Structure 1
Amino acid sequence: MNVKNYVVYAAAWMVIAASADEKKSLVDYFLPMEPRGALVSEGIWGDPNVLPRDINNGLEDAKLENWCYWDGRIVQSDDGKFHLYASRWPQSMAHGVGWKAGSKGMHAVSNHIMGPYKDQGLIYPQWQGGRGHNLIGLRMHDGRYAVVTSEITEGEIFVSDTPEGPFELLGKIEVDENGFNKGLARYTNRESPSYGHMSNVKVLLRHDGRYMIIPRSTAPMVSDEGILGPYKIMNGRIYENYPDLPQTQNEDPTVWYSGGMYHVVYNHWPSKTSHHFSSIDGITDWKYRGIAFKKDETKIFRYTDGTVNDWQYIERPTAYLDEQTGHVTHFIFSVIDVKKGQDRANDNHASKIVVVPFDGEAFDRDMQALVKAEKEAE
């Protein structure tokens, strides 16, 4: 973190601390999970560190009859139902093989945002057998539903008039490098089979009517021409002005707009640490807001009775924003009970998608106060 930014940041937090017992970071706004059913230990997969757990929270194949689940974003339809667009692969594949060779885009539905979500099958089976990863869903500006796939595909978007489909290929995301390194948007290693692919793509409907992408690099990209782009690379990596933060091995960004500002959380996977940034315009002046959560220091997955599930890997965070209130109310995570290399074919280990409630109203209030204090301290 450069000295000027650090001084302003510290001064602002001193103002906030004057009216609060302690400085808060994003992790402090996660709330305990109200179980959607009894916490279960017997007859389900998982190491003791994730038992007992609520198998009705989110999406999982509790008895490992078929699938491992990953990725995802929740979209609410006009009838009040919640639709989770994510990826899955056969549990007969090890994790390291499944996400690369067997991952396909799928759709699940629930009457409650916390779950349980019921697997409805593949989203677009007519295209490459449904192949897809880094799956997310969203509502477009015109009200249609869209799903996005990247990483093991080039970066395609499928659309439908209804949340159930059928989803048809709209096209591939286009990028305008705009004078920046093209590697900020797509893989550039020509020796890799994924050369030219986008990765970790998160699409956001901006408050100004444009579309925005935060890819794996975290470089903001904006389209004035619609959801397919072309997206202009508008800036470099959001953390590049903070040399004390890891500059490589970062992934899995999520982006949202609330409280009059844009937020990005991304994961530094070797340290299992996620970092939080904010910006007023979503393009420039990204400010570091501290550690969002850290695997061995913060416990996100705690239930109202005090039980804690200690997942080995916590990845693919995605914020769910309530359109009525304008606040984030939940986050979803892809989690696995053991190290990825220890999740083998037809064993007792797997991955699932977990939904965690979040006090977005308090978060936005405190962030607005922080930004105001920063301006006063300049």
Structure 2
Amino acid sequence: MGNPIFEKLMPAPKNGGFKMEDYYIWCGSAIKGEDGRFHIFASRWKKELGFGMHWLFNCEIVRAASDKPEGPYEFEEVVFNRRERCYFDALNQHNPSIKFWNGTYYLFYFGTTYGGPIPGPGDQISSERASEVWNNKRIGVATAKSIYGPWKRPDQPLIEPRRPGHWDCTITTNPSAAILPDGTTYLIYKSREYAGSTLQLGIARAPRPDGPYERLQNDPIFKFSNPDFHVEDPFIWYDNGLFHVIMKDDFKNNCGGITGEWGAGVYATSIDCINWNIHSDPKAYSRKVTWDDGTVTTQCNLERPNLLFQNGKATHLFLATGNGRNPYEFEGVTWNMVIPLKTD
């Protein structure tokens, strides 16, 4: 049996997705708004800053829109402004994930704040400072009755790291939520125990999308016997009695990982969101992309997978990407691309 995501992939529109010539675009979560148009929430920071670590220091979440789900999407607004540094998300917001339930839009994301000067173009960010700010990552969720806002922004994180002694005692990041019809929400997040340790995924549950959340178990999910196996960037949804997830195969030391292709997508399912079964044909998507003009390229990265649902069916796969010979060695800016899915 083939992978149920991979077998639905169609050629990607060359002029689709969301791109800005003067900004790096990352992430990308799309939804159909109350106006019948399609809206994508993405992360961006200025091209003049370089790629580097500025996604931790100078990133903002923006909304772009299109009349068609594949785009192209046009920038419309910055969603959040910077605020007083005492707030967890004061200076930087990243990883947007947009959901709708019971008349309200829920925008999950992570934020950071930090002391010292805000780095600008040409400023070197030391590894020590980057690690310090990296450890400030916390998940939040903002709410609005309209896709256009105004957004009610939280003063406190949605879910905090636990105390030392737990595997997730440093950060909470990479949020992705599955909201059931009654509002019960399952939230996947990423964390690790200490600097340099393996990044892992956890699961928490709440009666409503805005919490309060409780971990379903003390241990991470997707525990692998091989320490070089690593997954990140999960996207979770619930359908037909099962939880589903696609995530990035981020294996280390050329071990081959789950799919055999670094940066490809992994597909898994679960009944309870704790015990997961990786599909027998695990690859959900590949960095080798077929475009609608007949060309085929190998993208240096495909990150932050997100699905657009219409009438309960997944219709489009969104991915942060860039051109280049090797991962993270981008030639020009990054952008968000879209792959239509067969729905029959």
1:237 is aligned to 220
The secondary structure found in structure 2 opposite 1:342 is: coil
Distance across 2 between alignment mates of 1:209 and 1:97 = 36
Q: What is the rounded CA distance, in whole Å, between the counterparts of 1:181 and 1:78 in structure 2?
A: 45
One-letter code aligned to 2:314: V
Kept in 2: contact 1:253–1:266 (CA 8 A) = yes
Residues 237-260 of structure 1 deviation map (CA, whole Å, 9 limit, x = unaligned): 3322x536x665421011112233
Contact 2:92 / 2:111 at 8 angstroms: preserved in 1?
A: no
Partner of 1:205: 179
CA separation of 1:341 and 1:307: change in aligned 2, threshold 3 A: closer
Report the AA paired with residue 209 of structure 1: G
Q: Which has the larger radius of gyration?
A: 1
Aligned amino acid, residue 254 of structure 1? F
The one of 167, 171, 194 equivalent to 2:151 is 167
Structure 2 partner of 1:274: 265
Cα pair 2:82 2:92 within 8 Å, conserved: no
Partner of 1:292: 283
Deviation at 1:332, TM superposition (A): 0.3
CA distance in 2, matches of 1:137, 1:208: 18
1:104 aligns with 2:60: yes
Give 2:308's aligned residue.
Answer: 320
Q: Quick one: structure 1 residues 316 and 341, their matched pair in 2 at CA, closer, same or farther if it must change by over 3 Å?
A: closer
Residues 221 and 179 of structure 1: is their aligned pair in 2 closer, same or farther, counting only changes over 3 Å?
farther
Partners of 1:209 and 1:341 in 2: CA distance: 38
Distance 1:177 1:304 in 2: 43
Equivalent residue runs for 1:79-158 within 5 Å: 79-125=35-81, 127=83, 131-139=92-100, 141-150=101-110, 152=112, 153-158=137-142
Q: CA deviation at 1:179?
A: 12
CA distance in structure 1 between the aligned counterparts of 2:264 and 2:284, rounded to whole angstroms? 6
Q: CA deviation at 1:67?
A: 1.1
SS state at 2:57 partner: helix
Which of 290, 295, 301 is matched with 1:307 structurally?
295
Residues 30 and 356, structure 1, Cα contact 8 Å, conserved in 2: yes
TM-score (norm 1): 0.69
Residue 60, structure 1, aligned to residue 19, structure 2: yes
Q: Structure 1 residues 260, 250: CA separation in 2 closer, same or farther (over 3 Å shift)?
A: same
Contact conserved, 2:230 with 2:250, CA < 8 A, in 1?
A: yes
Q: Of the candidates 78, 90, 98, which is equivalent to residue 34 of structure 2?
A: 78
Residue pair 1:173, 1:229 contacting (<8 A) in 2 also: no
Name the CA distance, whole Å, in 2 between partners of 1:151 and 1:130: 8
Aligned residues between the structures: 293
1:275 deviates by 1.7
Q: State the identity as a percent.
A: 21
Q: Is the 8 A contact 1:258 1:328 kept in 2?
A: no
Letter in 2 for 1:170: P
Q: Which structure has more helix as a fraction of its residues?
A: 1
Deviates more, 1:214-223 or 1:129-138: 129-138
- Residues 274-295 of structure 1: per-residue CA shift (max 9 Å, x gap): 32110134x2432110422464
Q: How much has 1:170 moved relative to structure 2? A: 3.2
What 5-or-longer segments of structure 2 have no aligned partner?
A: 85-89, 113-136, 191-199, 252-261
Maintained 8 Å contact 1:278/1:288: yes
1:105/1:174 CA distance change after superposition, 3 Å:
closer
Paired with 2:3 and 2:328, the residues of 1 have a C-alpha distance of 35
Aligned-residue CA RMSD (Å): 2.8
**How much does 1:319 deviate?**
1.4
Relative to the length of structure 2, the TM-score reads: 0.76
User: Structure 1: 5+ residue runs without aligned partners?
Assistant: 1-12, 14-22, 36-53, 189-194, 362-378
1:351 corresponding residue in structure 2: 334
